[in-house]
Amino acid sequence: MSLKTISENFNSLPELVRVRAAEIGTNLAFKDDNTEITYEELNQLSDSFAIGLISEGLVFGDRVAIWAPNSINWIVCAIGIQKAGGILVPINTRMKGNEASFILNKSEAKFLFTEDSFLGINYVELLEKEKLNNLNKSFILNPVSESVQYKFSDLLNINSSINLPIIKGEDYADIIFTSGTTGQPKGVIITQKQNTQVFKFWSKYVGLNQNDKYLIVNPFFHTFGYKAGWMSVIIIGCQGYPEPVFDSEKVLEKIEKFNISMLPGPPTLYQSILTSKNLTQDKIQSLRLGVTGAASIPVSLIKDMKEKLGFETVITAYGLTESTGVATMCTPEDDYETVASTSGKAIADVEVKCIDAKGNDVNVGEQGEILIKGYNVMQSYYKDPDATAETITADGWLKTGDVGILDQNGYLKITDRIKDMFIVGGFNAYPAEIENIFLNHSSIQQVAIIGVADERMGEVPKAFIVKNKNDDITAEEIILWAKNNMANYKVPREVVFLDELPTNASGKIMKYKLRT
């Protein structure tokens, strides 16, 4: 297919969708298991939905939540919320009723769009016993039951003379709540222009083009699935294939069936595909672009992604919700070692530095807390000025809480979370550093290190390990290997084998579950 010239002149998601409808309206935009939609239809349906929302009582600046898995209706809903002047509040599909109600109340969400059945869960029922102070109504996005009272589709056919507001770049686009692994979740406010500018850069930098077919496995409630996912599809004008649940066998089928070329995800996604019994070269020959990121990535995985899965480009990146999802990126030309062991360097017009406990810049090659400054830094935490002041310095630097090292070329290596560090007999132990060493062991597929109390040393390392299938290595052999390959204070005193590590929906290991 020949590439069409498309505009890069937009500062908001509503404006972007209208521009693409005018330029490539008949092109397929998205296809899921239930339906497909062109760019023109995407624009028309999101307009209709926005009018329906306003007719229901949405006022400019109201918060509207989506608590649902990936689908085309999720995308239409999210665009429509923003076209109506609302602020999108995505909610993690793994949350329970009390966790979701916290976010609904904290954000003062006026409407909720959710599901009555997903993997056996009725989200509306999970909220029945919760006190929701601001919620007017809940609608079902993709109803399974005929008896649903309020449906997403009810808002698509409202006859009204309502004029949609003009959405500007400085208007708030979304409030995404942090994972809450170190306390209660906080709502990160990002503007329209921050989203469009960051992911205009991201999508071009990774090499996404109009011919690409992008399988979006990363969840839409997370920046990776929402902004680096379906929003980047629209920015480039390619085709997106939303997938509600990651299943390596189904993913392999879709790669082959639809000639998928773009497949980002956490390292666990690629590891699952590589170990699939149904993996053959003819099924994955269309793969072209892969984007991943984590503190610990074995060099062998990057090598396998290129040599066994056939990716032309594999890029690692680093960012957090508070930095609009992106801060640093590797280049497509970087070697295996660089892609695996670093998260690249600062993106254009963004600064990154590392500081010590006193706030002073550390030297090249020394560890320090990572700080970020630039147009990608969040506006604030929603209605939490104290937490905002603790996180953003007076001169605009975002304190990430992550520990890292910058090399002489500006490449960033993430070594840990400040809060994950523990002290063994006076030595600072960084779990990610220990995990990286363990990933050189041929029997180990995944590993997580935590610090546990010890009467003599204060704390000592404990390892949770996922072995390769059918590997019979023992804990004693693992510890002996560690003694020969790392400083004594880093060696785990205990090894626990697990079938899988507990992860959240974005693939991050939930270490607090390992501590309980």
The percent helix, strand, coil of the chain (3-state, each to 5) is 30, 25, 45
* 463, part of any domain: yes
435 and 407 share one domain:
no
The range of the structural domain enclosing residue 382 comes to 246-417
95 and 121 share one domain:
yes
Token couple for 302: 């990057």
Last residue of a domain, one of 417, 442, 461: 417
Helix (H, G, I), strand (E, B) or coil at 191: strand
Instruction: State residue 507's pLDDT score.
Output: 66
* 226, part of any domain: no
46 and 169 share one domain:
yes
Instruction: State residue 230's pLDDT score.
Output: 98
CA distance linking residue 1 with residue 452, whole number of Å: 57
Token couple for 171: 């208007």
**Which amino acid makes up residue 333?**
E
Please write the tens of the pLDDT for every residue from 33-91.
999 999 999 999 999 999 999 999 999 999 999 999 999 999 999 999 999 999 999 99
Residues of the chain with pLDDT > 90, as a percent, come to 74
**Count: domains in the chain:** 3
Give me the helices (H) in 188-281, please: 192-205, 223-225, 232-236, 248-258, 267-274
Q: Which residue pairs, CB below 8 angstroms and at least 24 apart, start in 424-429?
A: 424/451, 424/454, 424/457, 424/458, 424/459, 424/460, 424/461, 424/489, 424/490, 425/456, 425/457, 425/458, 425/489, 427/487, 427/489, 429/459, 429/461, 429/489, 429/490
Beta-bridged to residue 213, according to DSSP, are 239
480 and 385 share one domain:
no
CATH number of the structural domain spanning residue 298: 3.40.50.12780
Q: Are 309 and 290 in contact (CB under 8 A)?
A: yes
* 208, part of any domain: no
Token couple for 389: 């002041």
Confidence of residue 96 (pLDDT cuts 50, 70, 90): confident
Last residue of a domain, one of 370, 385, 417: 417
* 263, part of any domain: yes
435 CB neighbour count, 10 Å cutoff? 22
CATH number of the structural domain spanning residue 496: 3.30.300.30
Q: Could you tell me where the beta strands, DSSP code E, fall in 15-105?
A: 28-31, 36-38, 63-67, 87-90
Please write the tens of the pLDDT for every residue from 411-468.
999 887 777 778 787 676 778 778 878 988 999 999 999 998 887 777 899 999 999 8
CA 318 to chain centre: 11
Region for residue 86 given its phi and psi (left: phi exceeds 0; alpha: psi -120 to 50; beta: otherwise): beta
Q: Are 91 and 77 in contact (CB under 8 A)?
A: no
- Kindly give, in sequence order, each residue whose CB lies less than 8 Å from that of residue 259, ignoring residues fewer than 6 positions away: 213, 286
CATH number of the structural domain spanning residue 103: 3.40.50.980
Checking if the pLDDT of 181 tops 50, the result is: no
Please write the tens of the pLDDT for every residue from 191-249.
999 999 999 999 999 999 999 999 999 999 999 999 999 999 999 999 999 999 989 99
Token couple for 349: 């017009």
Q: What is the mean pLDDT of the chain?
A: 92
129 and 155 share one domain:
yes
β 28-31/172-177 pair status = unpaired
290 and 413 share one domain:
yes
| Residue 114: its H or E element | strand 111-114
Q: Residue holding tokens 């290129």?
A: 306
Last residue of a domain, one of 370, 389, 417: 417
* 206, part of any domain: no
CA distance linking residue 236 with residue 279, whole number of Å: 30
49 and 169 share one domain:
yes
Beta-carbon-side half-sphere exposure of residue 425 (alpha carbons within 13 Å): 9
Backbone angles phi, psi at 176, to 5 degrees: -105, 130
264 and 321 share one domain:
yes
72 and 134 share one domain:
yes
Q: What is the mean pLDDT of residues 293-315?
A: 88
407 and 459 share one domain:
no
183 CB neighbour count, 10 Å cutoff? 9
413 and 279 share one domain:
yes
Token couple for 397: 């630097």
Please write the tens of the pLDDT for every residue from 48-58.
999 999 999 99
DSSP track, 361-384 = BPPTT-EEEEEEEETTS-SEETT-
Q: Could you tell me where the beta strands, DSSP code E, fall in 254-319?
A: 289-292, 313-318
395 and 435 share one domain:
no
Cα distances from 106 to residues 89, 101, 135, 451, 500, in angstroms, run: 11, 8, 11, 32, 33
Residues of the chain with pLDDT > 70, as a percent, come to 97
CA distance linking residue 140 with residue 76, whole number of Å: 13
Q: Are 113 and 86 in contact (CB under 8 A)?
A: no
Please write the tens of the pLDDT for every residue from 4-38.
889 999 999 999 999 999 999 999 999 999 999 99
**Which amino acid makes up residue 72?**
I
